[in-house]
Amino acid sequence: MKKAGAQVKTSIIILTYNELVLTKKCLASIEKHTQEEDIELIIVDNGSTDGTREYLAGLSSVRTILNDENLGFAKGCNQGIEAAKGDNLLFLNNDTMVTQNWLSAMLRVLDQSDQTGMVGPVSNYVSGAQMIPNAYQTLEEMEPFAKAHCEKEKHKTKRVLRLVGFCLLIKRAVIDEIGGFDERFAYGSFEDDDLCLRAIQAGYRLEIALDSFVHHHGHATFTANREININHLYTANRQRFIDKWGTDFTYFTHPRPEIVQLVPPEANRILDIGCGAGATGLELMNRQSCELYGVELHPLAAKAARSHYKAVIEEDVEQAEMPYPEGFFDVIIFADILEHLKDPWTVIQTYAKYLAPSGCMVCSIPNISHAEALFPLLLGDWTYRDAGILDRTHLRFFTPQTVHTLFPAEQFEIKAQTYNIVDVDVKVQLFFNEIARLARALSFPVTQLADQCSIYQILILAEKKAQ
């Protein structure tokens, strides 16, 4: 027990709704791997009926808040915030098990800068960048795996645009500034996305402590609550998130690792056209030392990107006035942008003058000959959609054979042309195989269709020739 009047560093807030066995495992792991004098434990119970409330009543070292009904994740966490006395707040699901140095590793990252506002660990079961796939098969393997992994990743971090709320460490000052969880997100889903977005908009950084590992069983509370359909809940809260922010902000937060791979590691100044919230730029910053500049039309995404880009111009790429001298950039990125433009050929020419000698353009362009578009066309259907190759905002279309027209041979040398593959239905693939076979028999030059019908995006690395 803490001494009377001792300052609490971190308040750990845990919500419970039944699943007593998991709660006991969670608390036992905290006791094993956390210094008691550094924390306070606050458990908010949302109307459990399996003996959880009686068990909590017997824990003298835990502060409890007992709700008569399930008030949801956001409301329960906010109750914990009001009761907490710590300088830092850590929201932890009860279907987790922590491991050695889990909290100290996250605190080290949280304390490294006033700009760092939120930190999360890595895990075996979580979405996004915090996930370590195929970590282990049994709980007996968990701690040896965690120890080896965290030793390998010691003191390493990764900056991101999203952290998942299963285990989330936040400075109390950040919560005081941006507020707690938005209770419109009933029960759970998207309340953590919303909190992360508000933190980013306020100028705070989100970091993953790569040497902090927390096991997560996953969706245990939802599974236990048979009155809640997790798929319906996700859909409803996703719509609430879109309605609140006026857009699906998650669209702007997905990094493009295949783009990052094409960017030369020695590149210093990088211009990211259509940068969104700067997710790909963050991946580059995590990998190499560089200055990032962006162009992004959407104001919410542009504001988020400014938290880590040196400058972001909030204009249409075809209208933007560039305040940079010629030859300023080592790399210019066009990630799924050119197909949206009226005249992508002129845009390439316009921006080429801002490339340094031997500078590169890195581009990602949809392949209109993928089966997603081509097979329906053969059936007489060309229906535009909200996303994908037939996105209704696409104005120009390219194939692996025609994409080179964007990069005149006298000005560029294409150093690499690679592809993102999205496999097609087996029957559709057989159909295109037959077309290729027939084309060969008739000496028609379309035999590549069978290979190209699974190419979803064309990735180009084009180097500017010395003039």
State the residue for tokens 């400058």: 311
- pLDDT, residue 450, reads 83
- What pLDDT band is residue 8 in, cutting at 50, 70 and 90? confident
Residue 6's pLDDT is 55
In a domain, 211, yes or no: yes
Are 184 and 287 contained in the same domain?
A: no
Domain CATH for 195? 3.90.550.10
Angle at 337 between CA 131 and CA 358, to 5 degrees: 95
What pTM, to 2 d.p., does this model score? 0.89
pLDDT of residue 82: 97
Same domain, yes or no: 221 and 341: no
90: part of which helix (H) or strand (E)? Answer: strand 88-93
Residue 245's pLDDT is 96
Give dist(CA 242, CA 402) in Å, integer.
37
- What is the CATH classification number for the domain harbouring 256? 3.40.50.150
Q: Do 265 and 391 fall within a single domain?
A: yes
Looking at the structure, do residues 117 and 168 belong to the same domain, yes or no? yes
- Whether residue 204 lies inside any domain: the answer is yes
3-class secondary structure, 211:
strand
Give yes or no: residues 228 and 143 share one domain: yes
pLDDT at 440: 82
- Same structural domain for residues 187 and 201? yes
Same domain for 33 and 164, yes or no, is yes
Of 193, 224, 246, at which residue does a domain stop? Answer: 246
Last residue of a domain, one of 246, 268, 288: 246
Indicate whether 237 and 287 sit together in one domain.
no
3 belongs to a structural domain: no
Residue 366 burial (10 A CB sphere; 0-12, 13-18, 19+)? buried
Integer Cα distance of 401 and 455 in angstroms: 12
Position 42 scores a pLDDT of 98
Pick the last residue of a domain from 213, 246, 279.
246
Domain annotation covers residue 129: yes
Question: Is 2 inside a domain boundary?
Answer: no
Question: Is 402 part of any domain?
Answer: yes
Give the pLDDT band of residue 438 (cuts 50, 70, 90): confident
Predicted pLDDT at 337: 96
Average pLDDT over residues 152-156: 97
In a domain, 120, yes or no: yes
Is 189 in the same domain as 214?
A: yes
Smallest CA-to-CA distance from 369 within 398, 407, 338, 410 is with: 398
DSSP SS3 for 229: coil
Residues 6+ apart with CB under 8 A from 181: 73, 74, 75, 77, 78, 191, 192, 194, 195
Residue 5 in any domain: the answer is no
Helix H segments across 229-311? 230-245, 257-262, 279-287, 299-305
Domain that holds residue 153: 10-246
Domain count, the chain: 2
Question: Can you tell me the mean pLDDT for 396-414?
Answer: 95
Same domain, residue pair 158 and 30? yes
**106 & 222 share domain:** yes
- 298 and 226 in a single domain? The answer is no
Residue for token digits 């081509």? 374
